[in-house]
Amino acid sequence: MAKKWIGIGSILVMLSVMIGAFGAHMLEPIIGEDKISVYETGVQYHMIHALGIILIGIIMKVFGEAKLLVWSARLLFIGIILFSGSLYALSISGLGPLGAITPLGGVCFIAGWICLATTAFKKE
Which residues span the domain enclosing 75? 2-121
Please provide the average confidence, as pLDDT, over all residues in the chain.
95
From the number of C-beta atoms within 10 Å of its C-beta (0-12, 13-18, 19+), residue 51 rates as middle
pLDDT digits (tens, 9 = 90+) for 40-87: 999 999 999 999 999 999 999 998 999 999 999 999 999 999 999 999
Alpha helix stretches (DSSP H) within the chain: 2-22, 28-63, 67-79, 85-93, 102-121
Q: What is the pLDDT of residue 14?
A: 98
Instruction: Residue count of the chain, please give it.
Output: 124
Number of folded domains in the chain? 1
Q: What is the pLDDT of residue 124?
A: 66
Residue 44 and residue 93: Cα distance in Å, rounded?
Answer: 19
> pTM score, two decimals?
0.94
The C-alpha R_g of the chain, in whole angstroms, comes to 16
Cα-to-chain-centroid distance, residue 40: 13
